[in-house]
């Protein structure tokens, strides 16, 4: 009897343990699920950084569950209260010997290790003339490109807060990287420069960064996998000790008294995000070329950044005060200074964006709409090497990365105006942008203003397209009118299996001008004397109309018909699009019009 009782108790205990274990596993699974949002972000951040053994995702969640909910660096698994533990997928290079002052560093030895071999293509690695960079002294005397009013400006250094300079790089030439950091040291007051943090984004040659670890006040953080500029900058910011952050690209050259005007403006307005005037370092000769200070940043509806000259009114105001900040709707993004507190309050960067591109406009919208300002400081000058192409690859392709990043920006900040972006970049509709609810939460928390406000108060010069166009797909049976990628003059569209995703099959009928064009093209369709459809300049192609009841697609006195291959006259083609006399009984002229933007 006692044996039976013990057996029964053991069974009950086993059952309770089994239930408890199942409950624990279910909760643990829930935790992993929570930590995996957004999915695109989780591919990079799902383990505790820098531990010798791979970690279970459940343990990862447990390791970070006690972090403060307001930790702006939780996304990179970094706890500011534990600075000895670097962000995820990163290591900090330690000096092999005692630290040296930057002025005592063996520059020649460092540069020699990266020199081109005899006969090696000087443009291949960096897409600029590396031989010219290597032969240009890092501490050369360059033109003081500041305007006259700036040269007499005085700054009370005792009132200014110091900065941490953050430079990210991937396979950068040693000579340009060294010039960037050493001119920052050379031309900055020591009391205003706390440190330089170099973030090596998984360069092929680890020693490019590692060899600089011996310099005083220099930290080398190396990613153990490719992260891109966006996440690399956030990692650098997480380690920064100074109250002000200054971000620089890795191929710059700081000019005289470049830092003081930036820090002075933030002293005056802690929510100002400030950038220098960017001079040009010629990519072929490495000559330093001063740029105009009468420029500001802007963009088009495709969310591509552009420089634009100031209007006459703003230019006249500048002539009266050459040292005054220049309000800018957008920033180029490579070089800027921001209060660390404001950077964190704003939500750092959108960490689900990849590599590079679009993050500058996303931050521009966020700064302006959430209570800050973007300004170019004319008394600060920094040279930058502008290249015609990228020397590195974009995982997934540069086009897809840029569309993902810019669409995330549009979804969060453009409100209903995002339709104009999607009209300009229709293929962005079908890019997986992941979850952006965390960015919307920041927008709500900071009570950020609408994009309508941005257009009224910050960038009234950005012309809002008139909402006259009707976006359509034009169908016959299972085939749709498709540009086939032919959007240049005299090229012709065709018919292709309907896929329902717009793109090449999205057409815009402009009501006012009565023109028809593919959504990504500036050319309009016309009918040539031969009857063939072809692209031409829109100004001469008014006269399109369509009738949803009869299905007629009409250009002037002709209707568009799809002639199948089976007809003798077009045996060489799968099908043909031609204009012919209208006949309501002809099924070949009968279209179905599906509107995409009702």
The average confidence (pLDDT) of the chain is 86
| pLDDT the model gives residue 47 | 25
| pLDDT the model gives residue 575 | 73
The region of weakest confidence among 40-49, 334-343, 474-483, 589-598 is 40-49
Residue among 268, 277, 20, 53 at smallest CA distance from 145? 277
CA distance 346 to 372: 10
CATH match for 102-457 among 3.40.50.140, 3.90.550.10, 3.10.20.30, 2.60.40.10: 3.90.550.10
Residue among 231, 250, 244, 249 at smallest CA distance from 87? 231
pLDDT band for position 59 (50/70/90)? very low
- Angle of CA points 309, 385, 349, to nearest 5°: 75
Question: What number of other Cβ atoms are within 10 A of residue 476's Cβ?
Answer: 22
CA distance 21 to 27: 10
With 0-12 / 13-18 / 19 or more C-beta atoms within 10 angstroms meaning exposed / middle / buried, residue 532 is middle
pLDDT band for position 11 (50/70/90)? very low
218: pLDDT strictly greater than 70: yes
Running DSSP on this structure, what letter comes out for residue 215?
A: B
What is the per-residue pLDDT across 281-301, written as a single tens digit (0 to 9) for each? 999 999 999 999 999 999 999
Q: Which residue has the higher pLDDT, 37 or 595?
A: 595
Asked if residues 266 and 244 have their Cβ atoms less than 8 Å apart, the reply is yes
pLDDT band for position 355 (50/70/90)? confident
Asked if residues 236 and 216 have their Cβ atoms less than 8 Å apart, the reply is no
What is the 3 state secondary structure string of 358-373?
A: CHHHHHHHHHHHCCCE
| pLDDT the model gives residue 399 | 55
527: pLDDT strictly greater than 90: yes
CA distance 425 to 357: 15
| pLDDT the model gives residue 330 | 99
Cα Rg of the chain (Å, integer): 30
Residue among 350, 295, 302 at smallest CA distance from 326? 295
- Angle of CA points 193, 385, 387, to nearest 5°: 145
Q: Which CATH architecture has domain 469-595?
A: Trefoil (2.80)
Residue among 215, 221, 142, 222 at smallest CA distance from 185? 215
Asked if residues 448 and 369 have their Cβ atoms less than 8 Å apart, the reply is yes
397: pLDDT strictly greater than 60: no
Asked if residues 333 and 363 have their Cβ atoms less than 8 Å apart, the reply is yes
| pLDDT the model gives residue 393 | 57
> H or E segment at 437?
helix 437-445
CA distance 363 to 234: 13
The region of weakest confidence among 358-367, 369-378, 383-392 is 383-392
Q: Which residue has the higher pLDDT, 84 or 425?
A: 425
pLDDT band for position 12 (50/70/90)? very low
pLDDT band for position 213 (50/70/90)? very high
* CA distances from residue 502 to 7, 429, 474, 534 in whole angstroms, order as listed: 68, 9, 11, 20
- CA 124, 127, 133, 135 dihedral sign is positive
| pLDDT the model gives residue 391 | 63
Q: What are phi and psi of 321, to 5 degrees?
A: -150, 95
CA distance 333 to 297: 10
The arithmetic mean of pLDDT across residues 328-341, rounded, is: 98
The region of weakest confidence among 159-173, 189-203, 523-537 is 523-537
CA distance 498 to 502: 9
Asked if residues 478 and 495 have their Cβ atoms less than 8 Å apart, the reply is no
Asked if residues 264 and 386 have their Cβ atoms less than 8 Å apart, the reply is no
* CA distances from residue 312 to 31, 294, 318, 321, 456 in whole angstroms, order as listed: 57, 10, 10, 15, 19
- Angle of CA points 88, 89, 91, to nearest 5°: 95
Domain extent listing, the chain: 102-457, 469-595
- Mapped onto helix, strand or coil, the DSSP state of residue 582 is coil
What is the per-residue pLDDT across 112-148, written as a single tens digit (0 to 9) for each? 999 999 999 999 999 999 999 999 999 999 999 999 9
Residue among 487, 562, 498 at smallest CA distance from 525? 487
Residue among 588, 587, 493 at smallest CA distance from 532? 493
Asked if residues 167 and 181 have their Cβ atoms less than 8 Å apart, the reply is yes
CA distance 259 to 248: 12
The arithmetic mean of pLDDT across residues 322-326, rounded, is: 96
What is the per-residue pLDDT across 470-492, written as a single tens digit (0 to 9) for each? 889 999 988 999 998 888 888 99
| pLDDT the model gives residue 558 | 95
CA distance 534 to 490: 5
> H or E segment at 338?
strand 336-339
| The two structure tokens encoding residue 71 | 């930790």
What is the per-residue pLDDT across 230-273, written as a single tens digit (0 to 9) for each? 999 999 999 999 999 999 999 999 999 999 999 999 999 999 99
């Amino acid at each position: 009897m006692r044996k039976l009782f013990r057996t029964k108790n053991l069974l009950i205990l086993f059952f309770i343990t089994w239930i408890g274990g199942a409950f624990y596993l279910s909760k643990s699974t829930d935790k992993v699920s929570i930590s995996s949002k957004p999915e695109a972000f989780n591919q990079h951040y799902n383990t505790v950084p820098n531990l010798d053994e791979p970690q279970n995702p459940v343990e990862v969640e447990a390791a970070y569950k006690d972090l403060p909910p307001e930790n702006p660096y939780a996304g990179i698994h970094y706890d500011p209260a534990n600075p000895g533990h670097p962000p995820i997928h990163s290591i900090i290079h330690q000096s092999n010997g005692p630290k040296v002052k930057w002025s005592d560093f063996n520059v020649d030895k460092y540069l020699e290790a990266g020199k081109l071999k005899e006969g090696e293509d000087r443009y291949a690695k960096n897409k600029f003339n590396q031989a010219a960079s290597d032969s240009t002294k890092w501490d050369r005397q360059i033109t003081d490109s500041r305007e006259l009013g700036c040269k007499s400006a005085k700054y009370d250094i005792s009132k200014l807060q110091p900065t941490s300079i953050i430079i990210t790089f991937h396979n950068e030439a040693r000579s340009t990287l060294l010039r960037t950091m050493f001119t920052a040291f050379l031309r900055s007051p020591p009391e205003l420069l706390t440190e330089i943090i170099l973030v090596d984004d998984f360069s092929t040659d680890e020693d490019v960064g590692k060899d600089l670890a011996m310099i005083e006040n220099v930290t080398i953080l190396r990613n153990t996998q490719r992260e891109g500029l966006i996440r690399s900058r956030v990692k650098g910011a997480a380690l920064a000790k100074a109250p002000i952050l200054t971000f620089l690209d890795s191929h710059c050259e700081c000019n005289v008294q470049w830092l003081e005007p930036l820090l002075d403006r933030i002293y005056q307005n802690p929510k100002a995000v400030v950038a220098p005037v960017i001079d040009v370092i010629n990519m072929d000769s490495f000559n330093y070329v001063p740029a105009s200070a009468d420029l500001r940043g802007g963009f088009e509806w495709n969310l591509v950044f552009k420089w634009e000259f100031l209007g006459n009114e703003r230019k006249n105001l500048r002539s009266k005060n050459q040292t005054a900040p220049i309000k800018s709707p957008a920033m180029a993004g490579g070089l800027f200074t921001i209060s660390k507190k404001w950077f964190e309050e704003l939500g750092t960067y959108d960490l689900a964006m990849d590599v590079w591109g679009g993050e500058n406009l996303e931050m521009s919208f966020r700064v302006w709409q959430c209570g800050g300002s973007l300004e170019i400081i004319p008394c600060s000058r920094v040279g930058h090497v502008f290249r015609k192409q990228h020397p590195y690859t974009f995982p997934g392709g540069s086009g897809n990365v840029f569309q993902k990043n810019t669409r995330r920006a549009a979804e969060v900040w453009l409100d209903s105006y995002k339709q104009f972006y999607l009209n300009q970049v229709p293929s962005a509709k079908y890019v997986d942008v992941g979850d952006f609810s965390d960015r919307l939460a920041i927008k709500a928390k900071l009570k950020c203003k609408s994009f309508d406000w941005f257009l009224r108060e910050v960038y009234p010069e950005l012309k809002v397209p008139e909402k006259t166009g009707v976006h359509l797909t034009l169908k016959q049976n299972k085939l749709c009118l498709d540009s086939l990628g032919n959007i240049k003059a005299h090229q012709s569209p065709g018919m292709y299996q309907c896929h329902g995703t717009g793109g090449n099959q999205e057409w815009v009928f402009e009501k006012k001008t009565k023109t028809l064009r593919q959504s990504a093209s500036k050319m309009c369709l016309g009918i040539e004397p031969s009857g063939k459809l072809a692209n031409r300049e829109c100004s001469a192609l008014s006269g399109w109309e369509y009738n949803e009841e009869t299905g007629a697609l009409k250009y002037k006195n002709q209707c568009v018909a799809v002639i199948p291959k089976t007809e003798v006259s077009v045996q060489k083609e799968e099908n043909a699009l031609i204009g012919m006399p209208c006949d309501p009984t002809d099924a070949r002229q009968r279209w179905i019009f599906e509107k995409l933007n009702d």
